[in-house]
């Protein structure tokens, strides 16, 4: 039932087996802890005790997409280098988070950001236009 063989991927990230988020979600304990960072799957089981930030935070993120937490901490480039040691594969494209989204209208949240980026300036321009008209007509009558 193992969906992907473990590969000592080293620095050839990008060529590993593909996992779904569902498969990753099963590995959320100290016995087996996987997490997703930037669309890549990492097996951090043997790193739990070594993590300078403690094993709790890793266990909290285990089985999930930890990209945001990982980035929020502002990990050093050394930490990013270390990631390679734990790389085991890629996350399935369907389960990928939209990062720097190429297709913002695909998701509902993308849609809402589409509307807010367009509606707010258009509405602002409209209000300004009306204020300008009001101001001009006011100037003419008085």
3-state secondary structure of 73: helix
Q: Using an 8 Å Cβ cutoff, are 66 and 36 in contact?
A: yes
Q: Confirm or reject binding of residue 38 to ligand HEM (CB under 6 A).
A: no
> Taking the chain, what is the end-to-end CA distance rounded to the nearest angstrom?
83
Q: Binding segment for ligand HEM among 11-19, 50-58, 91-99, 115-123 (CB under 6 A)?
A: 50-58
Q: Two tokens at 49?
A: 């005790």
Among 18, 21, 59, 83, binds ligand HEM (CB under 6 A): 83
Residue 25 engages ligand HEM in binding (rule: CB under 6 A): no
Query: Which range of residues in 7-15, 39-47, 89-97, 113-121 is near ligand HEM by CB under 6 A?
Result: 39-47
Q: Using CA atoms, how far apart are residues 111 and 95, in angstroms rounded to an integer? A: 18
Residue pair 110/104 in contact by the 8 Å Cβ criterion: yes
Q: Give the binding site for ligand HEM (CB under 6 A).
A: 35, 42, 44, 47, 51-53, 57-58, 61, 66, 69-70, 73, 75-76, 78-79, 82-83, 86
């Amino acid at each position: 039932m193992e969906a992907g063989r473990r590969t000592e991927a080293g620095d050839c990230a990008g060529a590993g087996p593909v996992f779904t988020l569902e498969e990753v979600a099963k590995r959320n304990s100290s016995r087996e802890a996987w997490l997703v960072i930037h669309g890549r799957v990492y097996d951090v089981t043997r790193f739990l005790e070594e993590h300078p930030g403690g094993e709790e935070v890793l266990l909290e993120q285990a089985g999930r997409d930890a990209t945001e937490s990982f980035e929020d901490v502002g990990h050093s480039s050394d930490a990013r280098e270390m990631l390679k040691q734990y790389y085991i594969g890629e996350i399935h494209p369907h389960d990928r988070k939209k990062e720097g989204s190429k297709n913002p209208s695909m998701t509902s949240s993308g849609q809402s950001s589409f509307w807010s980026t367009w509606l707010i300036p258009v509405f602002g321009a409209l209000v300004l236009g009306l204020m300008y008209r009001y101001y001009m007509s006011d100037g003419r009558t008085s």
